[in-house]
């Protein structure tokens, strides 16, 4: 990975993903997490202030060293213990049935093989445990979808491999998750191509 990807992209993400609107969404998505939690694509720790008090420890999986460094102040202020426990959500070094919950916020756009990551998260969650998510992806409207496909190559180069048009709910289903309480929305203040979000929780659909 080059200088732009390792040094610039994590800082861009830290700024772009840190707005007031995203903070409200983070609070909503983190609600209900408890016990031992896995967070994939931890970034610069923008979810840390929203971990509920019932969370005992968070195992954070994040490849970007700069993201981890940018998280330092949030980590120092957090009553919840957080440890960097991996670099790649596609290959998790945890035993089956390890976690009480998992968290992914705007991460499935960037992981090269999101299906592999979703299968891994499913493997390491205890039976009945939920993945809490908010992700941007394929918009519900054909006109917006057309622009997403046009802009996708530029977005991928600018934003460290971020895809605009991944069908997040279908990916979850294909990886063996049932989605509960699904909300589909355009995030306020974001361009529709980038702000077509789905949010909810997901539980493993079977053995
Ligand atoms: C758009 S950022 C979102 C960061 C963070 N989740 C947030 O809400 O601010 C996507 C994140 O996914 C991370 N990422 C990329 N490939 C990954 C992988 N294979 N496994 C885990 N995280 C990955 C990136 O480094 C980046 O921090």
Residue to mutate (ligand 1; options 110, 114, 121; most atoms within 8 A of CB): 110
Residue 54 has a pLDDT of 98
Compute φ and ψ for 134, nearest 5 degrees: -140, 130
Q: Which residue has the tokens 């294909």?
A: 174
- Residue located via tokens 């970007």: 64
Which residue has tokens 């079977």?
206
Give me the pLDDT at residue 19, please: 87
In the block, tokens 């968290």 appear at 103
Residues of the chain with pLDDT > 90: what percent? 93
* Protein residue closest via CA to atom 27 of ligand 1: 43
Enclosing H/E stretch for 182? strand 177-186
**Along the 207 residues of the chain, how does pLDDT read in single tens digits?**
699 999 999 999 999 888 888 999 999 999 999 999 999 999 999 999 999 999 999 999 999 999 999 999 999 999 999 999 999 999 999 999 999 999 999 999 999 999 999 999 999 999 999 999 999 999 999 999 999 999 999 999 999 999 999 999 999 999 999 999 999 999 999 999 999 999 999 999 976
Mutate to test the pocket of ligand 1, among 41, 60, 61, 134 (most ligand atoms within 8 A of CB): 41
Question: Among 38, 93, 84, 36, which Cα is nearest to 63's?
Answer: 84
d(CA 128, CA 87): 26
Give this prediction's pTM.
0.97
Distance 63 CA to ligand 1 centre (A): 7
| Residues facing residue 131 across a β-bridge | 102, 202
Ligand 1 atom nearest residue 14's Cα: 9
* pLDDT score recorded for residue 89: 98
Nearest ligand 1 atom to alpha carbon 44: 9
Contact between 74 and 49 (Cβ < 8 Å):
yes
Nearest CA to ligand 1 atom 22: 41
């Amino acid at each position: 990975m080059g200088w732009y990807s390792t040094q610039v992209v994590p800082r861009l993400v830290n700024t772009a993903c840190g707005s007031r609107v995203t903070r409200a969404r983070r609070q909503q998505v983190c609600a209900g997490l408890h016990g031992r939690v896995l967070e994939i694509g931890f970034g610069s720790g923008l979810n840390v202030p929203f971990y509920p008090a019932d969370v005992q420890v968070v195992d954070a999986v994040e490849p970007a060293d700069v993201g981890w460094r940018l998280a330092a102040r949030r980590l120092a202020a957090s009553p919840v213990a957080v440890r960097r426990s991996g670099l790649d959500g596609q290959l998790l070094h945890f035993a089956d049935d390890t976690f009480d919950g998992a968290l992914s916020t705007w991460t499935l756009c960037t992981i090269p093989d999101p299906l592999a990551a979703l299968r891994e998260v499913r493997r390491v969650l205890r039976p009945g445990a939920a993945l809490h998510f908010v992700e941007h992806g394929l918009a519900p409207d054909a006109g917006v979808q057309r622009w997403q496909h046009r802009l996708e190559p530029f977005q991928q180069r600018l934003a460290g491999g971020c895809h605009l048009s991944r069908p997040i709910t279908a990916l979850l289903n294909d990886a063996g998750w049932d989605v509960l309480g699904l909300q589909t929305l355009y995030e306020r203040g974001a361009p529709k191509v980038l702000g077509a979000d789905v949010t909810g929780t997901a539980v493993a659909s079977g053995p």
